[in-house]
Amino acid sequence: MTVKVGDTAPNFTLSSQTGQPVSLTDFQGKKSVVLYFYPKDDTPGCTAESCAFRDSYEVFQESGAEVIGISGDSPQSHQQFASKHNLPFTLLSDTGNQTRKLYGVPATFGLLPGRVTYIIDRDGVVRHIFNSQLNVKGHIEESLKTLKELK
């Protein structure tokens, strides 16, 4: 299955860096969600992307959106990564990559977990998808542009 623009985003429940369960439906009717899948904590590209989301976090909040990062790393790894880089948003642990598969996030070169961002509106509908392993800043730019259009 591959999630497309216009689809209802599949719900999931995963553990956050604090060990608390977080579901996509927790935000429905309240906030848009910027859901970004990234390969691995503390790697150069993933650190750059997460820090760019951090640096624009206030703008995302002002746009009525919550930022959520997902990778296959453990909650403990996420906790260290978030603490080290002062990440103010939730990181979710998809250790079996079931949510990644549920969304149909492709692997880069068939090996590396993909880097894909989904903009999900308050009603749970996917409004934009940005897929780029290398253009990490593009994930933030595309997300903010889409959120402005939703207002």
- Give the other-Cβ count within 10 Å of 110's Cβ: 6
pLDDT digits (tens, 9 = 90+) for 4-40: 999 999 999 999 999 999 999 999 999 999 999 999 9
**Maximum alpha-carbon separation in the chain:** 37
- Taking the model in full, what pTM does it have? 0.95
Instruction: Identify the pLDDT of residue 119.
Output: 97
pLDDT digits (tens, 9 = 90+) for 99-140: 999 999 988 777 789 999 999 999 999 999 999 988 989 999
Helix axis angle, 44-55 to 136-150, nearest 10°:
30
Contact 60, 52 (CB under 8 A): no
Spatial separation of the C-alpha atoms in residues 2 and 101, rounded to whole Å: 8
Residues designated catalytic: 46
Structural domains in the chain plus CATH codes:
38-131 (3.40.30.10)
